[in-house]
């Protein structure tokens, strides 16, 4: 096992290059299952989940590998079964359901199950695919789907599910006829997937709005595609600059997909300036609390909730955070309290009363963004913080200790 040791209290100054987006890369890599011919991807982050996805694609009958800075994927002899061993380590695996059904008329995918942050059901994915002609059985923990060629349908989501919209988009791209997705997710990562499918020859319009229309085509062809920047990694480092009283320039990103985070940080007093393809962030003279509600895009992202909580812990006054997306995404609260944070929790609402400085402590990461909040807290805290179980962090942050060390943090990874 590995842990991070952080000697906190040092302002971060300099430039960090933001990596490609994990949450865009995972569905887009999975979409290669729907494509005939080779695809070359750039700006793919080297993360644990990406390596897992490449392994899964190989098991499903593709060649899939890093070739220098790019990733090459080509479908060869597709196999319909995504095994439990891989799916249990990465929920995004369920995104192979749509493209496999569209391409093979069959998919047998281990049911992903919940995780630390919530139950994470996939009923809306299955209901939509059923409307397109698939039938499903549950067999020994696997969802077994079968269909003739999928057909277009009008699918009204009960909730603008990100994964559900992505699965249905991939299926609809190859279905017969027109599919209309209403109350669809509008997240930038969904738009990136739609743009990738369009680059492969799909006929999609309305992506980025809540009504997406897809005219199915017979076949998708390979292309070269650059994955969008990771808006959540960028937001995390924006918090790091403010919390450590530092000044960071974040390159390879824009504020375009970060409106809600940008607005909330500015409301809290953080100074933010945008240049071409980069963002400058510093603390500002009066950092203070604010109220945050997590919502589907364009609302404040649940994936930034833990990080903004860490920032509020060291801001003047108090703030309230309501988590509406996942029922159990407050696992970081207990750990932040161990560092002196003043947080009270009532169901899905947390009240944070800012203190002058956190104190370093050994803390345990429970999930990806909780881990990020503990690293942020450690960077701002007086003394030494040890963050245990950082395998969660490695799912979502490329070279985190290298990037932070380069801007002045004292942070190192050790085995234990
Ligand atoms: C809307 C939202 O913020 N989605 C986030 C969610 O995407 P992810 O795709 O994992 O989750 P969904 O957007 O599908 O789920 C959002 C909500 O819908 C519910 N649900 C979803 C699918 C389904 O079939 N049935 C169902 O009830 C979930 O329990 C959850 O409460 O987690 C990702 C990782 O943190 C984030 O990057 C996404 O931004
Ligand atoms: C929880 C996250 O990812 P995943 O959906 O892959 O679990 C995340 O990106 O914050």
22 is in an annotated binding site: yes
Task: From the CA of 395, give the closest atom in ligand 2.
Answer: 6
- Going by pLDDT thresholds of 50, 70 and 90, the confidence category of residue 83 is very high
303 is in an annotated binding site: yes
Angle between the 22-31 and 162-173 helix axes, to the nearest 10 degrees? 30
Statement: residue 114 has pLDDT above 90 = no
Query: Using a 6 Å cutoff on CB, does residue 90 contact ligand 1?
Result: no
Joined tokens for residue 225 = 């595609």
Statement: residue 156 has pLDDT above 90 = yes
Percent of the chain at pLDDT exceeding 70:
100
Residue ID of nearest Cα to ligand 2 atom 1: 368
Taking residues 124-135, what's their average pLDDT? 98
| Ligand 2 geometric centre to CA of 149 (Å) | 31
- Around 98, how many Cα atoms within 13 Å sit in the side-chain half-sphere? 30
What is the distance between the alpha carbons of residues 131 and 173, in angstroms, rounded to a whole number?
15
Taking residues 129-150, what's their average pLDDT? 95
Taking residues 391-411, what's their average pLDDT? 96
Residue with the bigger pLDDT between 386 and 86: it is 386
Statement: residue 119 has pLDDT above 90 = no
For the question of residue 115 being annotated catalytic, the response is: yes
Statement: residue 115 has pLDDT above 90 = no
| Ligand 1 geometric centre to CA of 165 (Å) | 10
For residue 137, how many other CB atoms are within 10 A of its CB? Answer: 10
Say what the pLDDT of residue 360 is.
98
The answer to whether the beta carbons of residues 294 and 303 sit under 8 Å apart is no
Q: In which residue are the tokens 């750039």 written?
A: 42
- Going by pLDDT thresholds of 50, 70 and 90, the confidence category of residue 48 is very high
pLDDT in tens, 309-319: 999 999 999 99
Statement: residue 88 has pLDDT above 90 = no
- Going by pLDDT thresholds of 50, 70 and 90, the confidence category of residue 87 is confident
DSSP state of 339: T
pLDDT in tens, 252-285: 999 999 999 999 999 999 999 999 999 999 999 9
Average pLDDT for the chain: 96
CATH number, domain 22-226: 3.65.10.10
The answer to whether the beta carbons of residues 263 and 218 sit under 8 Å apart is no
Ligand 1 site-directed mutation target among 234, 325, 370, most atoms within 8 Å of CB: 325
Say what the pLDDT of residue 112 is.
80
Percent of the chain at pLDDT exceeding 90:
94
pLDDT in tens, 368-387: 999 999 999 999 999 999 99
Query: Using a 6 Å cutoff on CB, does residue 52 contact ligand 1?
Result: no
Q: Establish whether domains 2-19+229-415 and 22-226 are of one fold.
A: yes
Q: State the fold for domain 2-19+229-415.
A: UDP-n-acetylglucosamine1-carboxyvinyl-transferase; Chain (3.65.10)
Say what the pLDDT of residue 109 is.
94
Statement: residue 356 has pLDDT above 90 = yes
Joined tokens for residue 176 = 């017969």
Taking residues 326-354, what's their average pLDDT? 97
* pTM (global) more than 0.95: yes
Say what the pLDDT of residue 186 is.
98
Joined tokens for residue 341 = 């944070």
Long-range CB contacts for residues 407-410, cutoff 8 Å, separation at least 24? 407/12, 407/13, 407/14, 407/15, 407/16, 407/246, 407/248, 408/10, 408/11, 408/12, 408/13, 408/14, 408/246, 409/6, 409/10, 409/12, 409/244, 409/379, 410/6, 410/7, 410/8, 410/10
Statement: residue 89 has pLDDT above 90 = no
Say what the pLDDT of residue 29 is.
98
Per DSSP, what are the bridge partners of residue 229? 20
Taking residues 187-191, what's their average pLDDT? 98
The answer to whether the beta carbons of residues 352 and 289 sit under 8 Å apart is yes
Domain ranges of the chain: 2-19+229-415, 22-226
pLDDT in tens, 207-254: 999 999 999 999 999 999 999 999 999 999 999 999 999 999 999 999
Taking residues 117-122, what's their average pLDDT? 88
pLDDT in tens, 12-40: 999 999 999 999 999 999 999 999 999 99
DSSP state of 323: -
Query: Using a 6 Å cutoff on CB, does residue 53 contact ligand 2?
Result: no
Say what the pLDDT of residue 249 is.
98
| Ligand 1 geometric centre to CA of 326 (Å) | 8
One of 62, 76, 96, 115 is an active-site residue; which one? 115
Statement: residue 111 has pLDDT above 90 = no
């Amino acid at each position: 096992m590995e842990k991070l040791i952080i000697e906190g209290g040092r302002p971060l100054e300099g430039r960090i290059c933001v990596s490609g987006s994990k949450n865009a890369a995972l569905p887009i890599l999975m979409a290669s299952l729907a494509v005939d011919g080779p695809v070359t991807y750039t700006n793919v982050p080297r993360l644990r989940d990406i390596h897992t996805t490449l392994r899964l694609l190989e098991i499903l009958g593709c060649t899939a590998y890093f070739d220098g800075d790019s990733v090459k994927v080509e479908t060869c002899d597709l196999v319909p079964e995504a095994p439990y061993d891989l799916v249990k380590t990465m929920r995004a695996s369920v995104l192979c359901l749509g493209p496999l059904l569209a391409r093979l008329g069959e998919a047998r995918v281990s049911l992903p199950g919940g995780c630390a942050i919530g139950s994470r059901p996939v009923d809306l994915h299955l209901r939509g695919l059923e409307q397109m002609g698939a039938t499903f059985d549950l067999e020994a923990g696997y969802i077994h789907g079968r269909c003739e060629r999928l057909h277009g349908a009008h699918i009204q989501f009960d909730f603008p599910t990100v994964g559900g919209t992505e699965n249905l988009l991939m299926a609809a791209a190859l279905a017969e006829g027109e599919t209309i997705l209403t109350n669809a997710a509008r997240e930038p990562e969904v738009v990136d997937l739609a743009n990738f499918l369009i680059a492969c020859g799909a006929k999609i319009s309305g992506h980025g709005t809540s009504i997406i229309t897809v005219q199915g085509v017979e076949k998708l062809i390979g292309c070269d595609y650059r994955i969008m920047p990771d808006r959540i990694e960028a937001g995390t480092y924006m918090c790091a600059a403010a919390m450590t009283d530092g000044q960071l320039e974040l390159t390879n990103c824009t504020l375009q997909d970060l409106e809600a985070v940008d607005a909330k940080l500015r409301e809290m007093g953080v100074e933010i300036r945008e240049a071409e393809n980069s963002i400058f962030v510093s603390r500002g003279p009066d950092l203070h609390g604010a109220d945050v509600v997590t919502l589907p895009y364009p609302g404040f992202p649940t994936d930034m909730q833990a990080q903004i909580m860490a920032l509020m812990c060291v801001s003047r006054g108090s703030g309230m955070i309501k988590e509406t997306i996942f029922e159990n995404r407050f696992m970081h609260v207990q750990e932040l309290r161990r560092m002196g944070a003043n947080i009270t929790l009532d169901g899905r609402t947390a009240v944070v009363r800012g203190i002058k400085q956190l104190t370093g402590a050994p803390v345990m990461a429970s999930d990806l963004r909780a881990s990020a909040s503990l690293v942020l807290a450690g960077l701002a805290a007086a003394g030494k913080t040890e963050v245990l179980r950082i395998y969660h962090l490695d799912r979502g942050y490329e070279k985190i200790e290298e990037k932070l060390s380069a801007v002045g943090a004292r942070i190192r990874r050790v085995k234990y």
